[in-house]
Amino acid sequence: MTENTNIKYAGTDMRYADGLDRLIYSLYTKTDEKPKQKKLILTEFGENGIGTLTLNRTEKLNALSHEFVAEIILALDEFTAKKARVVILKSNVGEKKIWSVGHDVSELPKGNRDPLAHNDPLCCLCRKIAEVPYPIIAMVDGSVWGGACEVVFACSMIVASDKATFAFTPAKMSVPYNMAGLVNFMNNAGLHLLKEMIATAQPVSSVRFEKAGIVNYALPENDVQKKVDELASQVAKNSPLAITAMFAELNIMAGARSLPPADWERMQGLRRTAYDSDDYKEAIDAFLAKPRREPVFKGK
């Protein structure tokens, strides 16, 4: 498979960077029937057009690895092929009640390369969520960390437990988040709240997010599934073509930005300074250390 090759799978033309498109294509065409140790995702699809996709990499706290993301993207395309009306995105949170820890840090580059380039798996997943022709309802009943926040925010609706939290943590890893991701955050969170999340990297409650209009509902844990099912049922009864058209319009308008070339180059330069820095290498080394330690940042 060559770079930028048009891949057809599940009836959909997709264009990804060579590494991810090869992996997705290999998963789609796989004929090996040997049982896997554990499925990374679980899917269900009902006659009413309602699909459910459950993240199931619990032993790794649902860290969004290359292979994990490829399977999620493939499942979303399979829902498209089945003409899903709406899909529920949920997670097996495990005993630690973690919806997802975000990026699989072990797969981040060790330095001198953009850790969140256009072909990064998480960036591809967020674009896919925005592109599918059906609404996705995020059901959140645990803590959401780092890039997983962007995945949740990319969904059409968010229903969370009132105990759920969201922490945007790239500053803890000296990772300069990419501009497309920050635009996604800006379209959901107010600028001051977003700056607080970036600078402190501390969890914010779903209740606070509901008051800010970021989360649709923050409910007692026992009521979350009922509300998600109710929303999905209501969506499935309405015109899928009209919903697809209006959601596409909203996504295009929300993502529309015009920047002078000088500003674009300045932002790229600032990001390059961060991911080429000693601080970035220190963060990766500290995270992967046995035992894990706190990084010491020197601003270099």
94 is catalytic: no
Cβ(19)–Cβ(66) under 8 Å?
A: yes
103 is catalytic: yes
Output the pLDDT for position 1: 33
pLDDT at 207 > cutoff 80: yes
Q: What is the pLDDT of residues 40-85, one digit of tens each?
A: 999 999 989 999 999 999 999 999 998 999 999 999 999 999 999 9
Determine which one of 49, 51, 102, 147 is catalytic: 147
**Out of 10-19, 69-78, 231-240, 266-275, least confident range:** 10-19
Q: List Cα–Cα distances, 178 to 123, 215, 270, 271, in angstroms.
A: 9, 23, 11, 8
Q: What is the pLDDT of residues 150-183, one digit of tens each?
A: 999 999 999 999 999 999 999 988 888 877 788 8
190 is catalytic: no
Determine which one of 16, 177, 275, 280 is catalytic: 177
Q: Is residue 166 within a helix (H) or strand (E), and if so which, with residue range? A: strand 165-167
The CATH T-level fold of domain 40-223+239-288 is 2-enoyl-CoA Hydratase; Chain A, domain 1 (3.90.226)
pLDDT at 291 > cutoff 50: yes
Determine which one of 103, 142, 146, 280 is catalytic: 103
pLDDT at 287 > cutoff 90: no
Output the pLDDT for position 300: 82
- pLDDT-above-70 percentage for the chain: 83
Closest CA to 52 of 191, 173, 231: 231
Query: What is the Cα–Cα distance from 98 to 58, expressed in whole angstroms?
Result: 8
